[in-house]
Every structure is written in structure tokens, then in C-alpha cells.
Structure 1
Amino acid sequence: MPDSVSKPAAPVADYDSFAAAYSASNESNLFNAYYARPEMLRLAGDVAGLEILDAGCGSGPLMEALRAQEAVVRGFDLSPSMVELARRRLGEDADVRVADLGAPLPYADDAFDLVMASLSLHYVEDWASTLAELRRVLKPGGRLIGSIIHPTVYAIVYPEADYFALTQYSEDYDFGEGTVWMTYWHRPLQDVVNAFIDAGFRIRTVTEPPPAADTPAELLPNADGRSFICFLFFELEAH
């Protein structure tokens, strides 16, 4: 994980200022290319013919991978710059929209077999309304596959903070030629799990995976590839 420094929160729309640099890093870095994205795809399984929504699609790498597996994929992101990059990647006919995960979504009820929310929910303060919207657009029995920053990371990085409090915090990262700030909402594991249950989801799988088997050795922080914890993954079923 990068060095972390507390700072007043900045809006997620700040992604517009470093979208290209973030997208370039996303293609080959440890946490996105060899950790989060492979596990999201593994949990999704056989997606051929499924109607899928990528909630917080960024520049579209997950959408691209799902389309390569013959899924019908739509996506949205809060950042217009990210949406533009996704359209360049996927083609102008791709259904990629500017929309807010924390607001009502521009999709019909029961529209999707599967919703993918990769590293996007931890940007949202109010999970009750957000998960209600994701449940609304899912067909009965549909799945939500999500990943978030592992709640224990907050406890490790900020040992003096109140782990059990819903807390907004910011961290600094280097993308391109400058330092940027990214802002998240921490919530304890019990609140994560109960939010899913309260929204009408059944938990099918929870994983804390190692990086992908093909991860270049120079990207791994430790030789065994398992001596770090970063994200937590959920496979949920709407009922």
C-alpha cells in the first residue's frame, strides 16, 4: 500500500484530473491488473450471454474482459473523463454513461443478471440507498459481485482511529507526474455484511485471494505472494 496521509476529503470527480494516468496504471499494476480484476472475473464465472452492469467502470478494462467472454455489458462512472476513455476502448456504440453510484441509476428494474462493483462501493457514504438501487436493477436471483478496500487495512494504517466508526479519509498516490488524493469511506466489517443483508442480498462467497498466478515477481511485496492484505471480495445473490 502507498504511504497514507490524512487530508480533507476531495470529491470523486477529481478523477477527471488524472484519468489518463490512472487508466494507464490500471492496465499493469499489482492491485488492479493482477489482484482485483482477476478475482472479479473468477467470481463471475461463465458470463456468456449474461446482461451485466459494471457499476463504477472507470476506463472500461473490466467491461472489455467481460465482453471478450461474450457477455452483454453496460457500464457507468461518475467521471466524464473516465467514461470518455471507456468509449475509446470499447467503441462509441458501447453503452457507457456518466452516472453516480450514490444516486438513482438510469436503468430499468430487473434489467441485469449480474452487477459488478469493483472497488467502487468504498467511495459511497450511504450504502442503504446504493445497494437498494443495485438490488432494483438486478433480476430476482441475480448476483452482485463487489470488491472493497479490506476494512482491516484502515485499522492497520490508522491504529489510533475508531475502527467501528463510519469515517471518510483520503490518501495520496502518485500517478503520472504528480501526487493525487483519493477519498474513501471506511466502515467496519460488521456494517459491510449487515448492509448487504439488509438490502436483500444473500452472501454466497467471501474471498481474500492471493494475487493471480501470473503476477510478475517484481510486483509482489513478498516472495510468497500472500503476505499482504488489501481488498475483500463478495459474491451476493439477490432474493
Structure 2
Amino acid sequence: MKEKIIETFNNLSADYEHSVDHENLYNSEYERPAMLAELPERMDGLRILDAGCAAGWYALELMKRGAAVTAIDVSPEMVSSAIRRTGGGAEVLCVDLEGELPFKDASFDLVLSSLTLHYIKDWTKTFEEFNRILNPGGVLLFSVHHPFTDIKLLEEAHYFSTELVIDKWKKSGKIHEVPFYRRPLNEIFAKTLEHFSIKEVIEPKPTQRFKELAPERYERLMAEPNFLIIKAVSCPS
């Protein structure tokens, strides 16, 4: 399944930057404002890992705030997009989040992962590595699909299981099948708590601009969240 995910995002990379940044309100006016609200305006001197950087939007934003940014993604084409976007200002690497990460212990002050972890079936190794590379008391901030929404995509769903979902995205007139994993809320919390202390759980709300541009979708999000954000602090191993 990992190969399918890599293939999908390699194929999406050509127009991903434009479509996500300028067309997809769920990113620009929903997830991103909520994630950025958890970060300081100035991050000078902080070492940050953007885990699952895609085309590099967060990497560039973190650079603008003064952080020293390392960005990783499993898709070679997305890595190329992120390198181009950050203009050499960040270290961008092609890395699989399901394996051992190529960083020393206590290398980062913050790990940020935006809408990435639902592409990984088992978070055990990933969270173990996040904890290892963070300074003691370092922060993990991540967003994922909300399990209460994703379960509706399955005809015969089993809520308490981790289930494969095949979503369909229409980009540039083409339909792309995008596989990801839906897991119960308890599993999200349990895996996080193996190595972290959860400080905040956020069910984001869309912005006023979202309401102005897409009032019907705004009302749906106000009734039912699409994403879940967790802010946690690393614990001693």
C-alpha cells in the first residue's frame, strides 16, 4: 500500500501546490489557520521537523517565522516541489516515516505533521522515532482526518478497527484514488500517549472567509468536523 501512496502523490505533485494553496479551502481556511494558531509568531532558533511536507507550504511558513527547518516526505516528486519552494532555505529529504529517521537523538524542538499520519497503518515506530528525535519536553503537533467523518466513507465500517479507505480526489480533470487508514479515536489517543503527554485536542472550525466563499460547506463543518489536531509533549523514554 505504501507504493500506491507514493505513486499517487508523485502523480499529484504537478498541481498539488496550486490546488491545495489556492483552491482547497479545507487546507487554506480550515486546517492551516488552526495549526498555525498553536505556534508562536516568531520561532527564531527553533529546530523544526516538517514530517510529511508535501509541496512545502508549512516548511516555507516556518522559515518565515525564523525557524531552522528540516522537511521530509516519502514522495520523491513532492520532495522536489518542496526543494523548489523553499529555495534552499530548508533541508528537504525523501524519508519514510514508517522507518528509523536519519536524525540524532534530541535533534528537534518541534515535530509538525500536517494531514500525513492517516497514510500510515501502524504509528508505533513513527511515534517512537518522533519522541527520540525531540528534545525532552519537545512538542509534537499533528493533524489527521477525524474518525467520525471518515467512517461514513465505508459501506461496512467497523469503528473500533483500523480500516483502509480509498478516497477519490479530482485534480485537473483526473480522478486519483488516494488510500488512507481510518482508526478509532481511542487508537489515536493511545498511540500518542505511548510516548507523549497530550496537552490539547482541537477540533478546528473554518474561518469567516471560508463561510463567505462556501457557506454550505462551512455549515457542514460547523456541524461535523473533518479534521482533528493534537498537541503533545515528549516524555522520557
Mapped pair 1:45 → 2:54: no
Say which SS state the counterpart of residue 16 (structure 2) adopts: helix
Give the Å deviation of 1:62. Answer: 0.7
Match of 2:202 in 1: 207
Match of 2:6 in 1: 13
2:63 and 2:90 in contact (8 A); partners too: no
Report sequence identity in percent: 33
Match of 1:129 in 2: 125
Q: Name the aligned partner's letter for residue 75 of structure 2.
A: S
Mapped pair 1:99 → 2:95: yes
Equivalents in 2 of 1:10, 1:229: separation in Å?
29
2:149 and 2:224 in contact (8 A); partners too: no
User: Residues 223 and 130 (structure 1 numbering): CA distance in 2 closer, same or farther, change over 3 Å?
Assistant: closer
Give the Å deviation of 1:23. Answer: 1.9
Equivalents in 1 of 2:170, 2:123: separation in Å?
29
Equivalents in 2 of 1:197, 1:114: separation in Å?
17
User: Residues 220 and 71 (structure 1 numbering): CA distance in 2 closer, same or farther, change over 3 Å?
Assistant: farther
1:44 and 1:145 in contact (8 A); partners too: no
Give the Å deviation of 1:93. Answer: 5.0
| Greater mean alpha carbon deviation, residues 176-185 or residues 212-221 | 212-221
Match of 2:144 in 1: 148
Give the Å deviation of 1:220. Answer: 4.0
Say which SS state the counterpart of residue 104 (structure 2) adopts: coil
Equivalents in 1 of 2:125, 2:218: separation in Å?
42
Equivalents in 1 of 2:215, 2:52: separation in Å?
26
Give the Å deviation of 1:191. Answer: 0.7
Match of 1:157 in 2: 153
Where does the alignment leave 5 or more consecutive residues of structure 2 unmatched?
none
Match of 1:27 in 2: 21
2:202 and 2:230 in contact (8 A); partners too: yes
TM-score w.r.t. length of structure 1: 0.91
Give the Å deviation of 1:50. Answer: 1.0
Mapped pair 1:63 → 2:59: yes
Greater per-residue helix proportion: 2
Equivalents in 1 of 2:218, 2:144: separation in Å?
24
Equivalents in 2 of 1:223, 1:187: separation in Å?
25
Say which SS state the counterpart of residue 60 (structure 2) adopts: helix
Match of 1:4 in 2: none
Equivalents in 1 of 2:218, 2:173: separation in Å?
29
Say which SS state the counterpart of residue 223 (structure 2) adopts: coil
Equivalents in 2 of 1:81, 1:219: separation in Å?
31
| Greater mean alpha carbon deviation, residues 78-87 or residues 150-159 | 150-159
Give the Å deviation of 1:100. Answer: 0.6
Mapped pair 1:116 → 2:109: no
Where does the alignment leave 5 or more consecutive residues of structure 1 unmatched?
1-7
Give the Å deviation of 1:10. Answer: 6.5
Q: Name the aligned partner's letter for residue 62 of structure 1.
A: Y
Say which SS state the counterpart of residue 216 (structure 2) adopts: coil
1:221 and 1:228 in contact (8 A); partners too: no
1:10 and 1:181 in contact (8 A); partners too: no
Give the Å deviation of 1:48. Answer: 2.9
Give the Å deviation of 1:153. Answer: 1.1
